[in-house]
Structure 1
């Protein structure tokens, strides 16, 4: 059971990291314009929470 949970969390963490890196690259492109600067800052701020949640879950089960 623990092995299955670890495998599931590892797969979810990998997907989260890939999604976060893709969004991060897209948000960096938004920094080019001064009008969208505040929107990109808000998106970067919101991007960090799912990453930390996955890392906290993984640390708790390993």
Structure 2
């Protein structure tokens, strides 16, 4: 199992966090997503390393921006 940490900008509420969580969860191999809207921190658990572009695209699809 792999755990990756990201920073997402623009989230301000529970709905924001839910949107990001749902989009990232759709990436093949993702087993869990934790979002902290106060800090913008997103922790993703997956079966193996994730493609950074896939994560960035999922965050963009949710309407937010991946900072790193």
Q: Which structure has the highest helix share of the two?
A: 1
Q: Which structure has the highest strand share of the two?
A: 2
Shared fold per TM-score greater than 0.5 = no
Give the structure, 1 or 2, with the largest relative contact order (CA under 8 Å, sep 6 or more). 1
TM-score (norm 1): 0.33
Larger Rg: 1
